[in-house]
A and B are shown apart, each in its own frame.
Chain A
Amino acid sequence: MHPAFSVIFLTTLIGVGQGLFLALFSAQAYGMAKLLPAQSGSFFANGSFLALLFLLGGLFAAVFHLGKPSYMFTRAWRGMTQWRTSWLSRELIAMPAMMGLTFLYAVFHWFGWDVDLFGWHVTGQLSLVVGIVGVLAAIALFVCTGMIYAAVKFLQEWASPLTVVNYFLLGSASGFTCATVYASYQGVEQELVHFFGGWAIALTVLGFATRGFSLLRNARIKRKSTLQTAIGVRHTHIQQKAMGMMGGSYNTREYSHGKTGAFLKSVKWLFLVLVFVVPVILLALGLSADHNALLLLAFMTQYVGLLFERWFFFAQANHPQNLYYQTI
């Protein structure tokens, strides 16, 4: 497939936003359970505004995937009508829901709005409820984003539960890394920074395992379609001589990354190093040395790596329609 930069930025940015929200909510929940030091409302408010910025950035990138950006205002509302069948439609519902809940979460913390909902006599019960719904929305959005790709059965590289798992784990890992940076720059207790950082490392390692599995799986894919089934001729030696056009077409541009196999391979190793290896080392160093800049570098490396990872995810998928477009 031809990797579209709109989708690369959309999926990586909202992944950070969702992961950051999950991190903030877990800090609040742990804090209320007295497992971690409780934080001020402004810590959560600023953090969730940061998460909202990432989500908005993703939304902005996504607009460029529409035929015309103006369709955002004139037609995109229709995109929610087919939620019964289309994962893309479901994503278009989950995304504003996620953004709205993140915004509410931030506002509730900012103004310190609270009600003693459960009679616990602890602060933060209202935002906790908003947070729980927000967590559900974040997970739903991860599932929708992953299923958009996993549901296209013809793209055998994508048609696997690993796709959804990877979207969830890589998004959460980058979000927790971001939370680590945020917490360390906010100057909160080391305990919380270590909590975020520890989970960031754990999620990154877990993501390394599942992404590694998907790479192994994709390396041994047996193609369901062949040129024989594509044109319905039973012969072992078939060669395309003309594809019905002199230049290219949508079919030759949209379904090909246009790079060499060696380039693809080097991107694979590059993202494995940038997304998993380097951030884990930098996080461990930054946490042990209490060094903010190292943590920031870890997040930036991981995010850049995720851009390569997403590029590779798209480029690696081989669409069966390419069987019809092999020779100019």
Chain B
Amino acid sequence: MTQLALVIDLNVCVGCHACVTSCKQWNTSSEKSGPLFDDRPYGQDPTGTFFNRVQTYEIGCFPNTETLHFPKSCLHCEDAPCVPVCPTGASHKRAEDGIVLVDYDKCIGCKYCSWACPYGAREFDEYQKVMKKCTLCVDRIYDEKLPESERKPACVLACPTSARLFGDVHDPESQVSVAIREQGGYQLMPEWGTKPANHYLPRRKTRMHIHEDELKRTDNPLKKEDIRHGTSDDVTLDDWLM
């Protein structure tokens, strides 16, 4: 059984919103999702329907802070809570690839599915009056007219830092499964048991530890450590190389 999903590497996401704009561009002009409305795009309170948003969080207290850019779209939960609540069957999870989709011709716009999604991944289209959400670019990933390398969601192709991976999380040898396994991929709000298919790879810290005996290698006869002058207290790699 296939479960397609995105794996987002928070370590390399720079918050450029390229995934947001490319998603909007692709999906607003595709046949599958139809127009995604925008109101007052250049006005006071611009608003519209998006499948994907990038949010920014600050972790820690000044000055010890780090910035986390956090893209969020539909997580295509394996146990999707939005599907059973739909009264018309418009919201469904495809058996063949695990993509959660909305059939816009069946949707009555009751918004119940969006209430049932703890992630806020569904957005109501104020013009078409139906519920919309990420389709994993289902019209793109199976399009045989596109070259193999382009059969990926628009956001994945647009990401300049390759923070987004796309593949089958049920295949243990796939790129996404390897990434989840090796880099500690995790799911959002695991407490609800929705088993999101999309995973996030955590930010990694890179620290350099310089010990005293590395600076003064007395056992190395080729090093003339004493030549160096004015070593600052904050020893950096540059100091050492000079």
Contact A92 B54 (CB under 8 A): no
In the complex, what's the smallest C-beta–C-beta distance from B193 to chain A, in angstroms? 9
Stretch at the interface among A53-61, A76-84, A193-201, A292-300: A76-84
Known contacts: A229-B191, A232-B186, A250-B124. The answer to whether A320 contacts B46 by CB under 8 A is no
Given A67-B108, A235-B60, CB of A324 within 8 Å of CB of B119: yes
Interface residue B200 (Cβ < 8 Å from any Cβ of A): yes
B123 A324 Cβ-Cβ under 8 A: no
- Contacts known (A82-B86, A224-B192, A231-B188); A321 close to B109, Cβ less than 8 A: no
Report the nearest A residue to B132, measured CB to CB.
A250
Chain B CB count within 10 A is highest, among A81, A85, A237, A251, for A251
Interface size in chain A (residues, C-beta < 8 A):
57
What residues of chain A lie closer than 8 Å to B187, measured between beta carbons? 232
- Cα A224 to Cα B192 in complex, Å, equals 8
Docked-complex contact B59 and A237, CB < 8 angstroms: yes
- B107 located at the interface, meaning its Cβ lies under 8 Å from any Cβ of chain A in the complex: yes
List A216-251 residues whose CB lies under 8 Å from chain B. Answer: 224-225, 227, 229-233, 235, 237-251
Q: Pick the contact of B115 from A71, A152, A246 — CB < 8 Å? A: A152
In terms of DSSP, what is the predominant structure of the interface of chain B? loop
Report yes or no: A88 in contact with B87, Cβ–Cβ below 8 A: yes
Distance to closest chain B CB from A2 (angstroms): 10
Cβ contacts A246-261/B at 8 Å (1 or 0 each)? 1111110011000000
**Interchain CA distance A61-B60 in the complex, whole Å:** 48
**Quick check: which of B67-75, B204-212, B231-239 contacts chain A, the rest being far away?**
B67-75
Can you pick out 10 interface pairs between chain A and chain B where the beta carbons lie within 8 Å of each other? Answer: A75-B88, A82-B87, A154-B116, A229-B191, A239-B58, A243-B55, A250-B49, A251-B120, A321-B118, A321-B119
Docked complex Cα distance between A45 and B47 (Å): 51
Which positions in A face B, CB cutoff 8 Å?
1, 65-68, 71, 75-76, 78-82, 85-89, 92, 148, 151-155, 224-225, 227, 229-233, 235, 237-251, 254-255, 319-322, 324-325
B188: chain A residues at CB < 8 Å are 229-232
- Bound complex: CA A238 to CA B68 (Å): 10
Question: In the complex the two chains form, what is the Cα distance from A75 to B130 in whole Å?
Answer: 12
The residue that B59 contacts in the complex, of A71, A88, A235, with Cβ under 8 A, is A235
Question: How far is B17's CA from A89's CA once the two chains are assembled, in angstroms?
Answer: 38
- A321 to B186, alpha carbons, bound, how many Å? 18
CA distance A250 to B47 in the complex (A): 8
Q: Say whether A240 contacts B107, CB under 8 Å.
A: no
